[in-house]
Chains A and B, each alone.
Chain A
Amino acid sequence: MRSPLIPEMATQEVQLNETLVHLKTESETLKSKLEEERAKLHDVELHQVAEKVDGLGQFVMKTRRTLKGHGNKVLCMDWCKDKRRIVSSSQDGKVIVWDAFTTNKEHAVTMPCTWVMACAYAPSGCAVACGGLDNKCSVYPLSLDKNENLAAKKKSVAMHTNYLSACSFTNSDMQILTSSGDGTCALWDVESGQLLQSFHGHAADVLCLDLAPSETGNTFVSGGCDKKANVWDMRSGQCIQSFETHESDINSVRYYPSGDAFASGSDDATCRLYDLRADREVAIYSKDSIIFGVSSVDFSLSGRLLFAGYNDYTINVWDVLKGTRVSILFGHENRVSTLRVSPDGTSFCTGSWDHTLRIWA
């Protein structure tokens, strides 16, 4: 340690050190207290409560459509509210809008960057947002004129200092929520590009986010490389709850349809369910035979089924209440990278590193 030139500096440094030690002790005590309080209310397991519920029968879910056209890994997709259109983005820089019923491509945009890791459909169905290694989130209005050059109308909305990992419109076309490799999430005004709120608290890259169902109020959940899932108040920017039980990066988070819980998927090969009112993890969906990471998760309409896409090319379907796997789906020829259930719950779509998207029902 360097010897200070002035005696006052030495005293100041000792004081700072003491404060730091005191604060560290206080934080350790608070963390233990938090765990204690949570444990007091842990009187039963979810699957025990669900013992009396009828088990689920055999599921017949097959690929009903295959969307081919991307030239490289599909990284992200989102449904339009009309339940038939889909936007997808790829490592080759292309963003494509499909009609999933007919498998026709309706629009295509080439981004100026590769690895377009995030894309989202606007609630009106009139625009899409996307971004990735360009560190930005851009909005493209969708034109009815197929000959129009979409890239010309592009609007840059979000600017991060590292890659864009996820984006989502809020309940209107006017605001976008983003998450980034720079460790933050942010809320932006689409028209002006202004930053409305930023969310700091993750200690590493934020990989995913999901907005609470509109009835539940203004919150969203994010998951990151720090193994934490954080719940945020959108108006204040405050992190209101935090969960750290995964053993590796959290790649996907999704709210339970009632808004009272959320599921997560991680590189630790498990999916977990966290109840927001009990403030703890209430279920783990795992098997010794499943050793590859989970890339994406989504619930069926009633919340009874959890669909999860894995890096071993499969989709596992879990009984959310009983904690058991009810089905395993094969078809993709490389990692499943993205998975979303359609807005009316009649099907779900997966995107894969095998360059295709599949619709399952």
Chain B
Amino acid sequence: MTSNSNVSNMRRLVEQLKLEASVERIKVSQAAAELQQFCLQNASKDALLVGVPTGSNPFREPRSCTVV
């Protein structure tokens, strides 16, 4: 049996879809170019990507004792 809550749920859905449809969008080519640019600009700082000078990554240092 149809209830008022079904109708109000549907109204909410329709309003939500209208909101989502009104979003301003850019072309994938432009979005992709900007994602790529961000990667390339920050690549040198990305330790997991390019590695870091030996000794400066605390997890890569061997945990051995030094003889004093």
State whether A240 touches B19 (Cβ < 8 A).
yes
Residues of B within 8 A of A238 (CB): 19
A278 engages B26 (CB within 8 Å): yes
- In the assembled complex, the Cα of A20 lies from the Cα of B52 at a distance in Å of 61
A127 close to B (CB within 8 Å): no
Q: How far is the CA of A345 from the CA of B26 in the complex (A)?
A: 30
From B7, B18, B45, contact of A16 by CB (8 A): B7
Question: Hey, which chain B residues are within 8 Å of A257, CB to CB?
Answer: 38, 42
Which residues of the partner chain A approach B48 to less than 8 Å between Cβ atoms?
61, 300-301, 305, 341, 345-348, 361
Chain A residue nearest in CB terms to B26: A277
Stretch at the interface among A46-54, A113-121, A176-184: A46-54
A49 to B, closest residue via Cβ: B32
Count A-B contacts at CB 8 Å.
178
Minimum CB–CB distance from A232 to chain B (whole Å) comes to 12
CA distance A277 to B30 in the complex (A): 9
Quick check: A321 and B39 within 8 Å, CB to CB?
yes
By a beta-carbon cutoff of 8 Å, the part of chain B in contact with chain A is: 1-4, 6-7, 10-11, 13-14, 16-21, 23, 25-36, 38-43, 45-49, 52, 57-60
Cβ of B50 to closest chain A Cβ, rounded Å: 9
Within the complex, the shortest CB–CB distance from B59 to chain A, in Å, comes to 4
Across the interface, which residues of B come within 8 angstroms of A53, CB to CB? Answer: 36, 39-40
Q: How many residues in A have their beta carbons less than 8 Å from beta carbons of B?
A: 66
Assess the B35–A30 pair: CB atoms within 8 A.
no
Contact yes or no, A16 B17, CB < 8 A: no
Contact in complex: B4, A16 (CB < 8 Å): yes
Q: Does A34 contact B (CB under 8 A)?
A: yes
In the complex formed, the residue of A with least CB distance to B58 is A101
- Pick from B7, B33, B41: contact of A20, CB under 8 Å: B7
Q: Told that A24-B10, A277-B25 touch, could you supply 18 new A-B pairs with CB distance under 8 A? A: A23-B10, A33-B21, A100-B59, A240-B20, A242-B16, A256-B35, A257-B42, A258-B38, A260-B31, A260-B38, A275-B32, A280-B28, A282-B28, A302-B38, A302-B46, A303-B42, A305-B46, A347-B48
Give complex CA distance A34, B21 in Å. 5
Cβ-defined contact, B59 with A64, below 8 A: yes
The reply to whether A275 and B31 form a contact with Cβ atoms under 8 Å apart is yes
Inter-chain contact A359/B59, CB cutoff 8 Å: yes
Q: Is A194 an interface residue (CB 8 A)?
A: no
CA distance A46 to B37 in the complex (A): 12
Are A239 and B16 interface neighbours, CB within 8 A?
yes
Tell which of A35-43, A214-222, A246-254, A284-292 binds the partner: A35-43
Expressed in whole angstroms, the minimum distance between the Cβ of B41 and any Cβ of chain A is 8
- In the complex, what residues of A have CB within 8 A of residue B59's CB? 64-65, 100-101, 346-347, 359, 361
Closest 5 A-B residue pairs measured CB to CB?
Answer: A302-B42, A302-B46, A30-B17, A23-B10, A278-B31
Q: Known: A260-B35, A261-B35, A275-B35. Is A301-B57 also a contact (CB below 8 A)?
A: no
Which chain B positions have C-beta within 8 A of A304?
Answer: 39, 43, 46, 49
How far apart sit A56 and B46, CA to CA, in the bound complex (Å)?
13
Note all chain B residues with C-beta closer than 8 A to A20.
2, 6-7, 10
Q: Cβ of B17: which chain A residues have Cβ within 8 Å of it? A: 27, 30-31, 34
